[in-house]
Amino acid sequence: METEVKADGGARRSPDSRADCVLCGAGFTLKGRLMIGEVFDCPHCGKPLEIADLDPLAIEPFARIDEE
Ligand SMILES: [Zn+2]
């Protein structure tokens, strides 16, 4: 079974979220609406990170799938 949480204009507002890079340990702020599975680059080390969970916020290194 797949559980997907969709943000559809709910009452909860989270203008920005504090997070720590799991690769370099630097703290930073994520602004705007976040989605599980969203990939972004760490502002400090530039490595790709993925949002694994929102409540609580969990960040994981983004595993690029290279199959050749
Ligand atoms: Zn980093």
Return the higher-pLDDT residue of 26 and 18. Answer: 26
Q: What residue spans define the domains of the chain?
A: 37-68
Three-class SS of residue 39? Answer: strand
Please provide the average confidence, as pLDDT, over all residues in the chain: 84
Pick the CATH number of 37-68 from 2.20.28.160, 2.60.40.790, 3.30.43.10, 1.10.15.40: 2.20.28.160
Task: Determine if the pTM surpasses 0.95.
Answer: no
Q: Ligand 1 centre and the CA of 14: distance in Å?
A: 22
Q: Ligand 1 centre and the CA of 33: distance in Å?
A: 20
Q: Ligand 1 centre and the CA of 18: distance in Å?
A: 13
pLDDT band of residue 7 (cuts 50, 70, 90) is: low
Checking if the pLDDT of 6 tops 70, the result is no
Q: Ligand 1 centre and the CA of 49: distance in Å?
A: 8
Q: Ligand 1 centre and the CA of 41: distance in Å?
A: 8
Residue 21: Cβ within 10 Å count: 19
27-56, pLDDT tens digit by residue? 999 888 899 999 999 999 999 999 999 988
